[in-house]
């Protein structure tokens, strides 16, 4: 079915997509394929790519295998490696945007600061920083969970006289050659840039608050023959995806509290650690004191060997303050520094960024989510009609590709938007009881997982509610979102 999406320049858009990252691109492609072409994609930046545009730090790569970290409808036979580097991933998404005709829909330099629903007209109004508001019948928020750098509240942070920057805002103008460099943080980003920084710096100090479970990364370059096979045989491409799907899905078992697989993996990782870090004192700093998987399991084959270098130190004493010339720790030591890199992660609790979203009856999304974000399938929120979230609450993964989840969400959203257009609905609002039911199921299943365990992670609120992760295998999410159950939605046609 195709829809007539007449555009006379003054009428509201059928859809406004916020964000031109992986979610926004996927939504735009699928809407076009569903015959819905009357939409715009608003992005605050100056090019597409979201996280893959922002994270340009040395060593940036994806820790999900590339043949599954790509759209199902656009296989790439030319991935250079099992785990491709950031520039290649960004180039892949740029290729998709061109190939699937998304470019004319893109509007850059458009920072959405607010979104307000007018129930009478069945319209959202988006406020744009320094620009004219945009009206749309439906809105897809594709802001990502990991796009706003978190800066630690450390005394004296602004007093530092040397260069400092966040890993997601890497300052490529700063030459690290021969410098005394600190990394605050040792998470997923830091373990990728630390080995690269160590090659340049005269000395690197890693300030670590807690250890991570790190497994070796089975990375390698694909041979010309393999690429040729992927190019010529659909079956080879399909098998590559299925293999990754099955292996990663099996790994979900390791996230269950009472799991033999988890205990086996923990033992294997500790044995490997003993091999790669011979110094027992250093090894002790790298031995986690919480169950595997509670925080994201990290993949790296060169992080631990980097820590063995004589010009690299790990400091586990808490940072007391930052001074103009270095860092002072709680045990009274002082580390003179030229550069501080903040690998301190992202603000992960708001899901829709700093956008002030106002739904029916003046209801505010940040107040609705004050005690932990919830949405129906991570996509729709009761009281906020005609609004859809990609990569929303409880849709992050610890074991698989987020692109799979985004494709599920976009399929569901496109079906909802077709219904809204077809039946000319002013209001399409998920019923509170449906949303409560699906969230009860998620939180019940969550009790069986290690994410609830005794570690600090960005997966959960200060009160310990896991709001970021999906609680099961990805096939279960696909099943639940394969088509919307319209009975779960309150619908009101326009003019009634
Ligand atoms: P992160 O995993 O949240 O790590 C932040 C690091 O900073 C942790 O070591 C944390 O210590 C430390 N930290 C935070 N606040 C601190 C403070 N006040 N004082 C001292 N240390 C502090 O952030 P990230 O490394 O940027 O990664 C975030 C997420 O991005 C990942 O979990 C992953 O989902 C995604 N990512 C993915 C890839 C990929 O290859 N697919 C690569 C990079 C990132 P604690 O551990 O003690 O809290």
Task: Characterize 341-362 residue by residue with b for buried, 16 or more Cβ atoms within 10 angstroms of its Cβ, and e for exposed.
Answer: bbbbbbebbebbbebebbbeee
Nearest to 390 by CA among 147, 141, 148: 141
**Ligand 1, atom 17, residue with closest C-alpha:** 152
What is the C-alpha separation between 173 and 370, in angstroms, rounded? Answer: 39
Helix 402-422 and helix 474-481: axis angle, to 10°? 0
- pLDDT of 7 reads 56
Residue 68: HSE in the Cβ half-sphere, 13 Å Cα cutoff: 21
What is the C-alpha separation between 144 and 162, in angstroms, rounded? Answer: 31
Torsion from C-alpha of 332, 343, 452, 70, nearest 10 degrees: -170
**Ligand 1, atom 31, residue with closest C-alpha:** 188
- Among 151, 186, 187, 298, the mutation site with the greatest number of ligand 1 atoms within 8 A of its Cβ is 187
Task: Characterize 50-77 residue by residue with b for buried, 16 or more Cβ atoms within 10 angstroms of its Cβ, and e for exposed.
Answer: bbbbbbebbbbbbbbbbbbbbbeeebbb
Dihedrals phi, psi of 435, to nearest 5 degrees: -65, -40
Domains detected in the chain: 13-148+347-493 (3.50.50.60), 157-219+231-238+259-342 (3.50.50.60)
Tell me how crowded residue 495 is: count the other CB atoms within 10 A of its CB.
Answer: 7
Residue 423: HSE in the Cβ half-sphere, 13 Å Cα cutoff: 15
What is the C-alpha separation between 150 and 429, in angstroms, rounded? Answer: 33
Kindly list the distances between the CA atom of residue 28 and the CA atoms of 19, 41, 310, 423, in Å, as whole numbers in the listed order.
10, 8, 50, 21
Nearest to 89 by CA among 62, 112, 115: 62
Q: Say how many Å lie between the CA of residue 167 and the centre of ligand 1.
A: 10
**Ligand 1, atom 33, residue with closest C-alpha:** 188
Kindly list the distances between the CA atom of residue 128 and the CA atoms of 24, 38, 191, 285, in Å, as whole numbers in the listed order.
17, 19, 36, 47
Longest Cα separation, the chain: 74
255-285 tens-digit pLDDT: 998 899 999 999 999 999 999 999 999 999 9
- Among 86, 89, 345, 468, the mutation site with the greatest number of ligand 1 atoms within 8 A of its Cβ is 345
Q: Is the pTM of this model over 0.75?
A: yes
Atom of ligand 1 nearest to the CA of 60: 42
SS in 3 state form for 400-444? CCHHHHHHHHHHHHHHHHHHHHHCCEEEEEECHHHHHHHHHHHHH
Q: Say how many Å lie between the CA of residue 346 and the centre of ligand 1.
A: 7
Q: Say how many Å lie between the CA of residue 299 and the centre of ligand 1.
A: 13
Beta-strand ranges (E) seen in 159-316 are 163-166, 180-184, 203-207, 214-215, 298-299, 312-315
- pLDDT of 349 reads 80
**Across-strand partners of 118?**
123
Q: Say how many Å lie between the CA of residue 211 and the centre of ligand 1.
A: 11
What is the C-alpha separation between 260 and 225, in angstroms, rounded? Answer: 38
What is the C-alpha separation between 39 and 47, in angstroms, rounded? Answer: 18
- pLDDT per residue of the chain (496 residues) written in tens, 0 to 9: 333 344 555 789 999 999 999 999 999 999 999 999 999 999 999 999 999 999 999 999 999 999 999 999 999 999 999 999 999 999 999 999 999 999 999 999 999 999 999 999 999 999 999 999 999 999 999 998 888 999 999 999 999 999 999 999 999 999 999 999 999 999 999 999 999 999 999 999 999 999 999 999 999 999 999 999 999 999 999 999 999 999 999 999 999 988 999 999 999 999 999 999 999 999 999 999 999 999 999 999 999 999 999 999 999 999 999 999 999 999 999 999 999 999 999 998 878 888 999 999 999 999 999 999 999 999 999 999 999 999 999 999 999 999 999 999 999 999 999 999 999 999 999 999 999 999 999 999 999 999 987 788 899 998 899 999 999 999 999 999 999 999 999 999 998 8
173 burial (CB, 10 Å; 0-12 / 13-18 / 19+) is exposed
Structure tokens at 202: 């005269």
Atom of ligand 1 nearest to the CA of 63: 40
Q: Say how many Å lie between the CA of residue 298 and the centre of ligand 1.
A: 10
- pLDDT of 350 reads 79
Q: Say how many Å lie between the CA of residue 457 and the centre of ligand 1.
A: 9
Q: Say how many Å lie between the CA of residue 193 and the centre of ligand 1.
A: 12
Rounded to a whole number of angstroms, the distance between the first and last alpha carbons of the chain is 26
What is the C-alpha separation between 274 and 256, in angstroms, rounded? Answer: 25
Dihedrals phi, psi of 236, to nearest 5 degrees: -65, -40
- pLDDT of 4 reads 37
- Among 81, 209, 295, the mutation site with the greatest number of ligand 1 atoms within 8 A of its Cβ is 209
- Among 189, 321, 343, 346, the mutation site with the greatest number of ligand 1 atoms within 8 A of its Cβ is 189
Structure tokens at 71: 């759209």
What is the C-alpha separation between 145 and 406, in angstroms, rounded? Answer: 12
Q: Say how many Å lie between the CA of residue 103 and the centre of ligand 1.
A: 33
> Residues enclosing ligand 1, CB less than 6 A?
61-64, 146, 152, 167, 184-190, 209-210, 296, 343-346, 456, 458
What is the C-alpha separation between 353 and 149, in angstroms, rounded? Answer: 11
Nearest to 113 by CA among 358, 314, 288, 457: 358
Pairing of strands 319-323, 326-329: antiparallel
């Amino acid at each position: 079915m195709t829809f007539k999406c007449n555009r006379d320049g003054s009428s509201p858009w059928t859809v406004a997509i916020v964000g031109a990252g992986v979610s926004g691109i996927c939504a735009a492609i699928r809407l076009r394929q569903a015959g819905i072409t009357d939409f715009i994609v608003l992005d605050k930046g100056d090019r597409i790519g979201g996280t893959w545009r922002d994270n340009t730090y040395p060593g940036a790569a994806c820790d999900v295998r590339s043949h599954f970290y790509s759209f199902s409808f656009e296989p790439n036979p030319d991935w250079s490696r099992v785990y491709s580097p950031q520039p290649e991933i960004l180039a892949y998404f740029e290729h998709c945007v061109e190939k699937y005709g998304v470019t004319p829909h893109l509007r850059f330099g458009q920072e959405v600061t607010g979104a307000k629903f007018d129930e009478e007209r069945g319209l959202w109004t988006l406020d744009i920083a320094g620009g004219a508001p945009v009206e749309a019948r439906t809105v897809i928020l594709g802001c990502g969970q990991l796009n706003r750098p978190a800066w630690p509240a450390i005394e004296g942070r602004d007093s530092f006289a040397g260069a400092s920057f966040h890993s997601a805002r890497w300052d490529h103008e700063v030459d690290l050659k021969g410098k005394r460099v600190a990394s605050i943080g040792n998470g997923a980003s830091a373990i990728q840039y630390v080995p690269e920084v160590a090659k340049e710096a005269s000395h690197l100090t890693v300030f670590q608050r807690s250890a991570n479970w790190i497994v070796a990364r089975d990375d390698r370059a694909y041979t010309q023959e393999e690429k040729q096979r992927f190019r010529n045989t659909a079956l080879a491409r399909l098998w590559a995806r299925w293999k990754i799907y099955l292996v990663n899905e099996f790994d979900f078992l390791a996230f269950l509290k009472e799991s033999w697989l988890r205990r086996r993996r923990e033992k294997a990782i500790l044995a490997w650690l003993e091999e790669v870090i011979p110094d027992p004192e250093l090894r002790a700093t790298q031995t986690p004191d919480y169950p595997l998987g509670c925080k994201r399991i990290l993949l790296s084959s060169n992080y631990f060997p980097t820590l063995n270098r004589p010009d690299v130190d790990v400091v586990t004493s808490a940072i007391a303050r930052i001074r103009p010339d270095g860092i002072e720790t709680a045990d009274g030591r002082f580390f003179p520094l030229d550069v501080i890199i903040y690998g301190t992660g992202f603000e992960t609790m708001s899901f829709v960024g700093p956008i002030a979203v106002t739904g029916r009856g003046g209801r505010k999304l940040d107040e609705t989510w004050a005690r932990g974000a919830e949405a129906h399938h991570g996509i729709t929120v009761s009281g906020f009609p005609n609004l859809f979230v990609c990569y929303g609450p409880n849709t992050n993964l610890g074991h698989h590709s987020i692109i799979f989840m985004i494709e599920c969400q976009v399929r569901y959203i496109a079906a909802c938007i077709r219904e809204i257009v077809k039946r000319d609905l002013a209001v399409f609002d998920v019923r509170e009881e449906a949303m409560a039911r699906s969230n009860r199921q998620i939180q019940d299943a969550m009790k069986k997982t290690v994410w609830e365990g005794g570690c600090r992670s960005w997966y959960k609120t200060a009160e310990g509610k896991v709001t970021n992760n999906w609680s099961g295998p990805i096939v279960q999410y696909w099943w639940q979102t394969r088509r919307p159950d319209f009975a779960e939605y309150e619908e009101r046609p326009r003019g009634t």
